[in-house]
Amino acid sequence: GDLANQALTVVLPVGNGSFGVAADRFGYDLYNETRGSLAYAMRFGEGLRAAVQLNYLGVRIGEDYGSTSAFTAEVGVQARLTENLWFGAHLYNPTRAELGTVRESDVTLDERVPTLLRAGLGYMPSTKLTLTAEIEKDIDREERVRAGVEYNPNKVLFLRTGISTGPVSGYFGAGFRMQRLDIDLAVAVRSQLGPTPMINLNYRFK
């Protein structure tokens, strides 16, 4: 089958913070990754937010080789620098978790889960326009740079576009907010994979 990515996330507000539970799957018949996550995010006043997340990552290689797994963690923070400018930083897998021997076979991946450090800025010159820029560094690879724009002409419609390096990719999308339901549609255009459509549905119970 073709490469595919499915994900489901549930967020429950609790006091000044929120608990989140997520599950996602990426891959096809011969190789796929599954992940389960538990997260907690909290606000510290109006200008500071922080979150931690624990993940279970499972990798399966075909029907003949079996599977392996690892646990990872991540932490993120957002801080308001000025009225219209936010700074964010995110660290994924600081412990450099490693995928070991694949069960049901003699295959040993001996491969570490990527350790990623991201830092970025979000600038909102008006209530209808948001500009973002981010740099991502995998400690074993060259850094990647991303930039994006979101335009919100009214309460219902969101228009988005962006670009990233390593390899160069372009992104185009639109979002629709209808009472408690959000629908986000996007297309990623990658030099190696071509266009990849994406859809995200978000329902707010409150």
Which tokens belong to 69?
């797994």
Higher-confidence residue of 76 and 15: namely 76
The helix (H) or strand (E) run that includes residue 108 is strand 108-112
Q: What is the pTM of this model?
A: 0.83
Specify the DSSP class assigned to residue 113: P
Task: Report which of 120, 45, 51 is spatially closest to residue 85, judged by C-alpha positions.
Answer: 120
What pLDDT, on a 0 to 100 scale, did the predictor assign at position 104?
Answer: 55
Distance CA 186, CA 176 (A): 12
The one-letter amino acid at 160: R
Q: Which of 191, 206, 200 is nearest to 158 (CA)?
A: 200
Confidence of residue 191 (pLDDT cuts 50, 70, 90): confident
- CA distances in angstroms from 42 to 12, 77, 155, 196, listed in the order given: 12, 10, 26, 33
In angstroms, the CA 173 to CA 188 distance is 9
What are the pLDDT digits (tens) for 113-168? 889 999 999 999 999 999 999 999 998 889 999 999 999 999 999 999 999 998 88
> What single-letter DSSP state applies at residue 170?
E
d(CA 145, CA 109): 29
CA dist 149 and 172 (Å) reads 10
pLDDT at residue 99, rounded to an integer: 79
Contact between 161 and 178 under an 8 Å Cβ cutoff? The reply is no
Query: What percent of the chain is predicted at pLDDT more than 90?
Result: 63
Show Cβ contacts of residue 14 under 8 Å, excluding neighbours closer than 6 positions.
none
Q: Which long-range contacts (CB under 8 A, 24 or more apart) does 20-27 make?
A: 20/53, 27/3, 27/60
If pLDDT is split at 50, 70 and 90, which confidence band does 98 have?
confident
Residue 62: which H helix or E strand, with range? Answer: helix 62-65
